[in-house]
Chain A
Amino acid sequence: MATKDAPPRWDRKMQQRLARGEAAALGELYDRFASLVHSLAHRVLGDERAADGITREVFAHVWEHPDAYDPKQGPLRSWVAALTHRLAVQRLRATETVALAHSGEGSTEELERKVRRASVAARADYIVTSMPAPLRAALELAYFQRRDYRQTAVDLGVTEDEARRRLRLGLQLLSTAHDSGAPPGAGGRA
């Protein structure tokens, strides 16, 4: 969104406005986070309509339970992302469980692996979109444009040292996507 790095003040005011029952606030919340929510849900579920459904769930949940978000616990953006992640993973596990029971093919271990893979992939997406732009730009050049770190340094107008540092730092951040075995705890109760 236009103002991605919004100050926490925006988060606090948004929560107050939602709690007050201000319809326009939910519209603004949607405008800011819909594409984040939808893309995370889509990464987990791999299906447009299912992602639409999760998007509806997430915003309805925030609207119904505005107090579930505590601004002291962190940015609204990551809270919304965690909520989305949790609901989408829940949905995936539920549909896969039904499919497993129905077809009898596969195992619960495979199911759990699949759920975990989807969960990590979504978390990785979130980390990439949230990391500082200079790190993202370096990864973009080195990975997608296949530039080596010297070329990356030239492209970004930084020293080779700095290019190496950004690549390493970017990957370090990204690697934390693997860290949480359990679904994220935050995001309020559904």
Chain B
Amino acid sequence: MSDAWRDAEDYEGHERHERYAEGAGEGEEVVPAQGGPGIPGGPEDDGPAQDGSGNDQPVNDGSGNGGSVNDDGMHGGPDDPGGGGTANSGPVSGDGEPPRIPMPRASVEDTGRPLPELDAAESQAVPLVLEHRVLKALLGAWALAACSAAETAAVEEHLGECGACADEALRLRGAVGLLHPVEPLDLDPGLRTRVLTSSFDRRPPRIPVPEWATPYDAETARLDALLQDIGDAEWHAPVRLRWFEGDGPTSRRTTVAGVIAHLLTVDGLVAAALGLDDPLTGEAAKAMTPASRTEAYWNSSHFPPTRSIRSPWRDQSHNIVRTVSFTGGSTGKLAVSYGDFELPLHDAMLDRAFECWVHAGDIAEAVDYPYGPPSPRYLNRMIDLAARMLPVVLAERRRHGLASPGGGRHLVGVGEPGRSLRLEIEGHGGGEWLIALDSPGAVGSAEREVAHIALDGVEFCHLAAGHVSPEEAAAGQLGDREAIRDVLFATASLSRM
């Protein structure tokens, strides 16, 4: 391992153990690889700081921040007609010995007299007299052109006399050239799947992630990558959660962090079913529906959630994926309770993947980031889940008088073909589904098709998420109007907080 990789890491370690503060406390050299002070550079002829003008001002990469140093013309720069040694880009060491000029021991500080005002010193162009120790400590600021003009002059004067400092100055100036803005990097969201797939082709996993858990794995990773990019303040950006209740839209105000808390608590239903820790504790854990759990969590703290919520949410989602990998196919049928209904685990995971995408979209909208739909393969499965849930929801709504009483007029036995609506989903992830209209037990039937709707896959998902109203959903419609209305409203009613 190279020193470079290791040094930075070691440093991280220092900070963790709070040795960072003491280890570097006195401004001593902390970088072992640094050129030792034994080979001082000794500019004798055109030394950089002999006359205070032979040294380029801190030029680095042309970003122009070196300019602040010579604003007042205290020392030379490219435009300085007096600057002789402009060919040097820094305090370059010569071959000879440094001039044996003793350190200025009698510093102002040692005399006990008050220090001169910096401004006064500058205006009178009185050279600052600083100790070696002080000058050395200034080298970083000097290299970054972040000192006063008087300090800059004092440092450069010193560099002509002190080989150790001249070496370090050169080295630090070189380091400044390595700084550059971090370009915002958007990883292709599909890269994760490609990386995993090609790795597993080379060495098949002994403990794979079950097929039905992969959409959840991918969607949580995608949201996490979005969260990584957003700033502290954006975690408090307002978000309006929207869904359908009964036959009308409803909404609830929260923040980006509040949305993650919502995902954490509802994913917690899956975690709890798997025997993992429930993020809700005490009284709050008695709440069972997604909305009541979320409210309980929000209310359990006096302070609104912050970005610190990211880590528990992410850890839990990783744990869920990991746990279902170990329990394998056997847990797929395990029931996950949502309070007023249940889903088998594999559908619950798909539902959580869907919710993760929907709320990631809410967050992305709130912080003005682009966010695309899931990969077509996963989108298709999400639509399939909704299509499979529709007959149950239709029956439920009928019981509550929210859908036309089709069941009364068209009795269908379990497993028999019933009146059906053809749901045609266009675009990536699309397909066709026959929705049995009259009974959850009936089988969708092409022969008994009474209506046909066609809409885009993402539009359908927006409808199922309660983000588009059934009246406004851009759907091509053909056939029984009542059946179409029932199915569109039932789709919207799949949504919840």
Contact = CB atoms under 8 A, between A and B. Distances in A.
Nearest to B3: A179
B24 interface: yes
Contact of B191 (A34, A132, A167): A34
Given A27-B196, A143-B179, A173 B7 contact: yes
Given A23-B205, A132-B15, A148 B174 contact: no
Interface in B10-48: 11-12, 14-16, 20, 24, 27, 29-31, 33-34
Interface in A47-65: 52, 55-56, 59-60, 63-64
A174 B179 contact: yes
A31 interface: yes
Contacts of A174: 175, 178-179
A175 interface: yes
A148 B191 contact: no
A178 interface: yes
A171 B322 CA distance: 41
Interface string A134-148: 000001001110111
Interface string A120-160: 11011111101110000001001110111110100000000
Given A56-B194, A173-B7, A146 B12 contact: no
Interface in B310-328: 310-311, 314, 318, 321-322, 325
A131 B178 CA distance: 14
A22 B311 contact: no
Given A167-B144, A176-B3, A186-B1, A20 B217 contact: no
Given A23-B325, A35-B228, A38-B187, A168 B141 contact: yes
B178 A173 contact: no
B252 interface: no
A169 B485 CA distance: 68
A164 B137 contact: yes
A186 B14 CA distance: 22
Interface string B203-215: 1111111000000
Given A73-B1, A179-B4, A186-B5, A172 B31 contact: yes
A82 interface: yes
Interface stretch (A1-9, A96-104, A108-116): A1-9
A39 interface: yes
A47 B471 CA distance: 47
Contacts of B318: 24, 27-28, 31
Contacts of A123: 2, 4-5
A140 to B, nearest CB: 9
A74 B199 contact: no
Nearest to A165: B27
Instruction: Give the interface SS of chain B, mostly helix, strand, loop or mixed.
Output: helix
A183 B1 CA distance: 9
A170 B27 CA distance: 11
B65 A165 contact: no
A82 B176 contact: no
A31 B8 CA distance: 21
Contacts of A35: 185, 187, 225, 228
A107 interface: no
Contact of A38 (B9, B137, B185): B185
B219 to A, nearest CB: 12
A52 B175 contact: no
A177 B6 CA distance: 11
Contacts of A39: 182, 185
A16 interface: no
Nearest to B66: A146
B7 A185 contact: no
A5 B174 contact: no
Contacts of A71: none
Given A123-B4, A170-B140, A175 B9 contact: no
A163 B147 CA distance: 11
B235 to A, nearest CB: 12
Interface in B227-261: 228
30 contacts: A21-B203, A22-B322, A24-B207, A24-B325, A30-B192, A30-B196, A31-B318, A38-B191, A56-B191, A59-B199, A60-B202, A63-B202, A74-B1, A125-B182, A127-B7, A131-B8, A132-B14, A132-B15, A143-B65, A146-B68, A148-B146, A165-B24, A167-B140, A170-B140, A175-B171, A176-B33, A177-B4, A178-B175, A183-B2, A186-B1
Interface of A: 1-3, 5, 20-28, 30-31, 34-35, 38-39, 42, 52, 55-56, 59-60, 63-64, 73-75, 77-79, 81-82, 85, 120-121, 123-128, 130-132, 139, 142-144, 146-150, 152, 161, 163-180, 182-187
Given A52-B188, A143-B65, 13 more contacts: A1-B228, A2-B224, A22-B207, A56-B194, A56-B199, A82-B2, A82-B5, A125-B182, A130-B11, A130-B12, A132-B15, A148-B141, A177-B175
Interface of B: 1-9, 11-12, 14-16, 20, 24, 27, 29-31, 33-34, 65, 68, 137-141, 143-144, 146-148, 168, 171-172, 174-176, 178-182, 185, 187-188, 191-192, 194-196, 198-200, 202-209, 217, 221, 224-225, 228, 310-311, 314, 318, 321-322, 325
Which 3 interchain pairs have the tightest Cβ spacing? A168-B140, A21-B206, A186-B1
